[in-house]
Chain A
Amino acid sequence: MDKLLRKKSYIIMFLAPAFILFTAVLIVPIITAIYYSLCDYKVNTDATFVGFQNYIDLFTKDPDFATGMKNSLFFMVFSCITQLIFGLILAALLTNIKKGRNFFKNVYYLPCVLSSAALGLMWYFVFSPKYGINKIFEGLGWLERADKGTQWLSDTSGFIILPIIVISFVALWQYVGQSMMLYMAQISGISKDIYEAASIDGCSRTQSFFRITLPLIKPMVATAMSLNAIGSLKFFDLIYSMVPESMRGKNGGAHVLATNLYEQGLRYSKYGYACAIGIVLLVMCLLVTFLINKFVKTESYDM
């Protein structure tokens, strides 16, 4: 048996396709992207090595990148916190009921599997001042004229502008189901005996949630949080489909890192510069995962 499973030819045969594909389409391009990010490389010019110039320009001279960084960091912090809170609350509520649990769970998870581009367009219309919720407010008499009400997706005042806040709530709406599922999976994995023992010891339900459930799902908090953080740093679809073009164009207030990348790479065809943005994004993702796992994840308990 051991000999059979150690046969090199089979190992190579089984591993090679995935290994080659993965390396050629993901690892090699990352290396070339790192190289391009150090080059002046535009559509009509060949790549010429310029050292860290692109990165220096990014961090010192590019107001759009600064906006993108600000908004992306906001998305990350917002989604980590709100998804943790709401995901946990939903998970706790759903594990406490019997009737309809599956139904509720399936409904809340539904948007996770739907196209963000389509949902983004949907919310774009919901927040359209002329036809969306402002129209309802008008009908209720709260607004005199719908289109003169709050400009949900084009107001640009404040440090974090309104469209970004609106979209972060839409993202919460769309993805909280995923956090909920992860926490529920972990909670349902906790042995009933522990709760029974606790209740015999006079522990109330609320108490046992904080004393037993929370500590036991801590490793999952780290997993879910990393997923949220990376997901929100990569954020593109909702911005692309919800805010007006001028706000994700030059000097647009609703930039995130991914729209920076899209604009520089696709609209101005500055491939080297766009690659530099991509590499910054990569470093941030790795850093955030590392930090979350360092500070949130503790040793996992045996359940």
Chain B
Amino acid sequence: MLLHISKYIITRHLKRAPNIYHSNISFRRIWTSCQRCQIQPQMKTKRHVSPEMVGVVGLEIHAQIHSTTKLFSSSQVKFSAPPNSLVSFFDASLPGTLPVLNRRCVEAAVMTGLALNCTINKKSLFDRKHYFYADMPAGYQITQQRLPIAVDGTLTYSHLGGKKRNQVVTKTVRIKQIQLEQDSGKSLHDDYRSQTLIDLNRAGVGLMEVVMEPDMSCGEEAASAVRELQLILQALGTCLGNMSEGQLRVDANVSVHRPGEPLGVRTEVKNINSARYLARAIDYEIQRQMEIVQAGGTVLNETRAYDQKSGNTVPMRDKEGLQDYRFMPEPNLPPLLLYDSENVPEGLDPTQVVLIDRLRAELPELPGIKRARLVETYGILPEHSFILVNEDGLVDYFESVVKETKAEPRKVIGWVMQELLGALNQQNLRVSQSPVSPSALAELVNLLEAGRISSSAAKLIFQELWKSPGKSAEQIVVELDLGLVNDREKLLRICQTVVDTHPEQVRAIRSGNKRVLNKLIGEVQKRTKGRADPALVRSILEEQTS
């Protein structure tokens, strides 16, 4: 259908950023960066930077609203569609087109606001923010500058702290506001041909800009807060939250000061597309600013970009010098009014308005509540609850296993944390891709609980289940003859053989070195492929070597 855009917009596929699919990867890497964060103070003292200086970090997070259509038009929202294939007349800013607010986007913002303990404004307004940029065809962005949809919230997040990094440290960051606004298109600069290619597929996609107050002090905290937000958004379904696909974009406002003194000059760090880089970029920027201040210099109020290769932040080419966005009310959108069920004005169809109380009632279980419930219900460790909730689908997996087994949840969590996650990580798989289903694992745990297999055999069976997903644990026990051997006569014979063939060890035991007994137990297990009842073996060997 479109347009005369083709003059400038040349069809060419935008290169996708290398895909980091798994939220678990970025999550795990946060912890790597936390360690950096902890190491930092030592570096500071080494460099004679005044120790009491601290970093101050605020975040502006753009979360792309998960909806089928854009914020003000009916074009589809899809990642990596052919360039300019999802562009309505409004998105291309054809003259005479008008914005029509997408209710789904409003609901998403309200749900997100409620989940972040915000006050939902029953009346909010839209504004135009003007600047010329090729991928913003109207010359302005519609946003909510004066009166946003949600204000004054909090986000509680936690990270692992302490010496062993196994203590859960909980903190809170204030949410200043959540505003609805349009996303821009994408520009691709072709320096070789000195032209710019524009893809408007993203232009007009709904964003929630979540503004966090400068309540954080290092990259680790920021990354943890973002991770928590990501989990909340995903639980709500209001944003898919994939940073590498740009569904969640974070700008960090960073400054340094000595506590009690006014905040320092801040810089804005942009261009961060993973939680790992977020932590690194912030820590680098704090360090950089501290060094400047320490050396008697002044931090410039500027926008900096994070360079993934060097791990540094570098000044961004200042787009248009001093910007005055010339904000103005958007005249084509009446105030956005929200209601509670009992005060829908007469004449309004309740199915056509957004009801705050109804959305509140429909909120799903949020990660914080979920963790507390897991600890409470199953008696697992708080850090385990974190890992369960952080891995997409892992809570469901764990709970399914628990439901199908008589084993204590604390035993199940061991299997899930060690065997399952270990194997998943090794092959870079998501929980949903696990070849071992929850019921297969449950069956395995049940066999172990019933004393039908040894724990070492159980581990072996898990490996087999992983390799051949169709089979059941029981089947493998039979096929590989892994059932626990507790036939006393049979074990007596095997033990006797072992005792007879290891005279030196037997002598050592008899002379008082009881630890050598384990060596003999190991030999017995070797001959029984690890399926001998370990308690029985021990008592027999003790008798035979006494």
B partners with A: no
